[in-house]
Structure formats: C-alpha cells, structure tokens
Structure 1
C-alpha cells in the first residue's frame, strides 16, 4: 500500500453546527446565481399583470402573473421551447377548467372532476410530467376562484405566456456564463483524473489507479451538465437580439463538447487498463509521462474556450504526444497490457485533437501507423 496521503480515498468534511447554519455565504451565492431568473420573473409577471389590468381592463388578472412565474421558474435551463411547453400546459388546464365551470359550475365534486379531466388531457397531449402538473395547478385556480366572465382567465393566461416568452428573449439569463462554468468543471475533473492515473503509473500504485478510475467515471455527469447548459444557451441565443454575437462561441463550444464527450468515454477505458497494469506494482514512467503531457494539453484546451488563439498550441502539444504512441517502440519489450494501454491512449488523444480544432479525419492520422 502506498504511504502517500494522496493515494487514500478523498473525503469531504460535512459542515455541521450553528456556525455553519448561520453562514450567509451559501445563501448569497444562491441569490447571485438566481439574479437573472429573479429579474425575468419580476419583469414578466409585473408586465403581464399591468397589461391585463390597465390595457385589457381585467379587474384581477391573477393568472396573467401566475403563468409567467410558473413557466419561467428559477431553474438554470430556461429554453424558449421549455417555457412555451409549460405555458401550453397551463393554458390547457385553464381551458379545461373554464369549460367545465361553464357547464357544471363550481363545488367539491366539480373541482375533483376538473382536476382529473385536466390530468388525463394533459398526459394525453404531452409525455412530460411537468406539463400535466402545470395544467392541474391552473385548473384548480380557475375552479376555486371563479370569474363571472367566461374564459377571461384564458386571456390572462395568454398574456402571461407571451410575457414569459418575451422576457426569455429580451432579458435572457446568463446561459453563456453557466455553460462556461460547466465546461470548466468538466476540464478540471478530467485533468484531475488523467493526472492521478499518470501518478499511479509512475509509482505502480494500484490504489491511486483505482482512485483515478473513480475520478474518470465521475466526469460523465459533467459532460451531460455541459450539454444541457449549451443547449439552453444556444436556444436562447437564437431568439435573443442581445446574444447574437455569442452564437458563434456557443457553436464552437458545442463542437468542443462533442469531442470531449468521446474523450471522456475513452478516458474510462484508459483508467480501467491502468488499474489492471498497476496490479503488479511495477512503475511505468514512460507511459506516465505520456499521460502527464496529455493532462497539460487538456488544460490548454480548456483555456482555448475563452481564447481560440490557444488551440494551435494545444494541437501542437497533442501532436507531439501522438507521435510517440507506437506500442511497438514506446517501451522496448512492452507487455501486452502496456501495448493495450498505449492503443487505448491513441483514440483519446485523437478526440482531444478534434476538441482543439483539428478535423476528426486528420486527428486519426496523427498517431503512427501500426
């Protein structure tokens, strides 16, 4: 067993006690991260209510405000399509309840009937559970707080839905900042996994190699998180006049993300092979150096997200790594396990080259032919 403290499983202390409960910093971070969302909701709800009340003359346009709040929410991902889908769900609930109220009035059994009918219709129209729940909530409001004017609340709901879509475009959430934060988390995690695997090979430390495998597996959810934030940013950028200049960057980042998705999958393969090799406790410094150089190139690719001029430097570093990836010559007398590891590194480096701006076809040709 390695006596290096870094080889031990990493644990995190869970803060407890009254000092942690009184710490305002987590709350302030939540408020800061939700700033744009709060602004969207306030502007949309206030504007929808004011329009319905002062322009259309509705006395108490409650649904004009509730539809905007419910459709926007405080989630990070507020794509126009998702906002529209939620709005449509709410309008379905209002329409069903208004129709039933007109036919049967209101009461305990009418409320139950309206709720059940709304859920059935909503589930028929959409596979998303949120769609049905949004419809049910608005249906309850209509039945519990009746209006003397038929379908007046449907007009309020339409006003609220239009307001929600307008602020999505005109007061966009900072999706670019969110996706860059997600990208930074992914690159940092992948760099940490590859660095740990390199250290394991350098020392022949199986425990450290297993820790590297755990880290490599933990990167996958970060890829999914980055994809979601990129999709959200690109969707908003398509309709927002204020994010048009960022469309190219978002498209470029998505190209990088697709290549990194493949790289992360190959990293898990590499990690499993490193664990197998380290089982004999033999140091393998040459292959360790290859992974260490690859980790440094990953850092450059991460920096290139903000500065595209760094991509050539990343490609140059990775090309130098790829040139050494001949399993027949990199380690004289290499075992079959070492050769398999080198073969596993080749597609990993090719994926990183594609992330650094090289075409996939050219990236596959960089490593020596075998």
Structure 2
C-alpha cells in the first residue's frame, strides 16, 4: 500500500514542520536576546578585562537566559549566582589542590552544600555543582585563582541586565501558549468538520494527526502556567497575578481534556460509512471550531470571556443526537462524543461545571 503510506508520511512531515515553525517563532526573541547577552559578555571580558579565552562569560549568560521567555528575575539571579559560585569555588580548589578524581568529588560536595546554605533554590545548587565539576575537570587556561569566576560573573550580570531591561507581563508567555494551543484545537475541529461534510477520510485523518501533534504544546502551556503560579508564591511582585495564573492552569487542564476527547471523536469518524448523512455532525463541529477560535483570542488577550461563552453555548445547542433523525446511530455517536469537549471548553471560558452541562440539550 505505497500510496497510503506516502500520504501518512507526508502528513507526519507536514505536522513536524508546523510544530517546528511554531517552536522557532516562540523562541526567536528569547534566543536573540540571549545571543546578544552572550556576545556582549564575551566582548567585555575579552576587551575590557583582557582575558584571553573568556568562554565562561557567554556560557553563564546563556545558562541564565536560555531560550524561554519565562525569565523571572529571581530565577535568572539564582542561576547566575549558582554558575558564579560553582566556577569561583572550582577555580580556588583547582589552584589549591589541583585536578583529579577525588578533587571532583570533594569540590562537588563542598560547592553543593555551600549553595544549599546560601539559598533554598534547586537551580542554584545544581548549577554550582555542575560548574564546579567543569572547572576541576578542565585544564588551566588563564592565570589567577578567580579569572574564570570573573568571566562567569560578567555573564550573569549581562543576563540580569537583559532580564531587567526587557521586562514583561509574566502572564504573557502562558497566555500566548494558551492561545496557540486553543487555535490548534480550533484548526483540528475545522479540518474534521470539512472532512465530514465532504466525506473525505484523508482530511479526517489529517485532523486526527493535527490533534496528536498538539500534545507538546498543551504540555508547554500547562508547565508555563504552573511555573507562573509557583512564582506568585515566591515573588511578592507577582502575587497580584495569582488569580490569573490559577485561571490559566485551569484552562490548560480543560483544553487538554477537550483535545483528548476530540481525538477520540476523530478516530470514530474514520469508520463512519461514506454514505452516512453527516451534515448535522459537520455543522456542530464547524460551529464548535469557530467558537473555539473565539476562546483562543480571549485566552491570548486575557480579556472578558463572555463572547467565547456565548459562542460555545450557541454551538452546544446543536449537540442533540436525537435531532438527527434518520442519520443513523454512528452519526449520532459523533454528536454524543462532541458533547464532552464542549463542556470542557465552556469551563475553560469560565462557565461553572453545572452551567456548562446545562448548556447541552437534554437527552
């Protein structure tokens, strides 16, 4: 069956390309900022401090900033202190007792315990240990017991400057991920509705593939929302966003449920007979796709969810399998399967669970 195999492979490749483009789009600005900070740190250590090979300066800047837009100042500072502590401590030990297997163990033990004494942060301790190991395991490349520590400090300061000078709403990244994930669900529903209306099994399979490909994006959204909620417990400046992050965490959970349910629906739709009357199911799913797109805009902007609730209620009013008459039980089952994700989407739009269920026609 070379034809179907090629089709599946082509859809898989297209999906990977779409996912890759999405990741690049989200990461471009943070990576650009980190690259600039790393270059600036290297240049300062090389031209101003006169260090011949200051590669710990860009390493420190990159470790602190990375490719994520979640750059809470405490986290950046914690990483910077951890890198500088590990490099500095390893430098002192290497100049005092040399390098070797037992020096690595001793330095790791001391650096990690010192980091735990200074702060409770896990990242600080991890980076202190890793950088101390790197320093002990590397040959000496410049004179002085604190040369590489200076480079690491320069990189950490550069990262802090970038994080400070490019402040942003801490909710922005989680909201952007939420909007993208919800848009992906809307596109899946749109493709599924088109496949049902035209009796095109390939389009239904493409919708299923698209739904499978959203899992990573949903996980990124949930992780970002959870991290933001955690930061509100640690950072006094972020506490005013606690309720917003609680909403985002709940929305991520509801969207994950909805996507899983729609994937089940798509798998069932593949087996529906080609001569079945699918207009009713297609209309329901198409209306749901448009309402989900409204929800995506609401999540991305953090705005009043009333328009999304109204659109989803309008779609939910069509989820009546009994209204399909002679369409057949297989088509009616598609409508039944669409009821659950509509409830999840209504809850994501702020509807209480009982009210979300009441929006569906009575069976």
One fold, TM greater than 0.5? Answer: yes
C-alpha deviation, 1:11, in angstroms: 8.5
* Alignment match of 2:286 (pick from 288, 292, 299): 292
- Mapped to 2, the partners of 1:305 and 1:59 lie a distance apart of 48
- Mapped to 2, the partners of 1:64 and 1:212 lie a distance apart of 47
Structure 2: 5+ residue stretches without partners: 1-6, 15-23, 117-121
Matched, 1:37 2:31: no
- Mapped to 2, the partners of 1:95 and 1:228 lie a distance apart of 33
CA-to-partner distance for each residue in 1:306-327, whole Å, 9 max, x for gaps? 5556522221222233233333
Cα 1:310–1:287 change in 2 (3 A) is farther
Contact 2:90 2:131 in 1 (8 A): no
C-alpha deviation, 1:117, in angstroms: 6.1
Name the structure 1 match of 2:20: none
TM-score (norm 1): 0.68
Name the structure 1 match of 2:336: 343
TM-score (norm 2): 0.69
Contact 1:96 1:117 in 2 (8 A): no
Name the structure 2 match of 1:317: 311
Structure 1: 5+ residue stretches without partners: 1-6, 14-26
- Mapped to 2, the partners of 1:172 and 1:42 lie a distance apart of 20
Matched, 1:262 2:276: no
- Mapped to 2, the partners of 1:250 and 1:44 lie a distance apart of 34
Name the structure 1 match of 2:93: 99
* Alignment match of 1:200 (pick from 190, 195, 201): 195
Matched, 1:144 2:140: yes
Name the structure 2 match of 1:75: 67
Contact 2:34 2:66 in 1 (8 A): yes
Higher alpha-carbon deviation: 29-38 or 254-263: 29-38
CA RMSD for the aligned pairs?
Answer: 4.8
Cα 1:32–1:71 change in 2 (3 A) is closer
CA-to-partner distance for each residue in 1:197-226, whole Å, 9 max, x for gaps? 112222333222212111111121221233
Contact 1:304 1:311 in 2 (8 A): yes
Cα 1:246–1:252 change in 2 (3 A) is same
CA-to-partner distance for each residue in 1:107-149, whole Å, 9 max, x for gaps? xxx25664576678899998999776544334456x5146655
- Mapped to 2, the partners of 1:32 and 1:192 lie a distance apart of 26
- For these two proteins, the number of residue pairs brought into alignment is 335
C-alpha deviation, 1:284, in angstroms: 1.0
- Mapped to 2, the partners of 1:245 and 1:129 lie a distance apart of 30
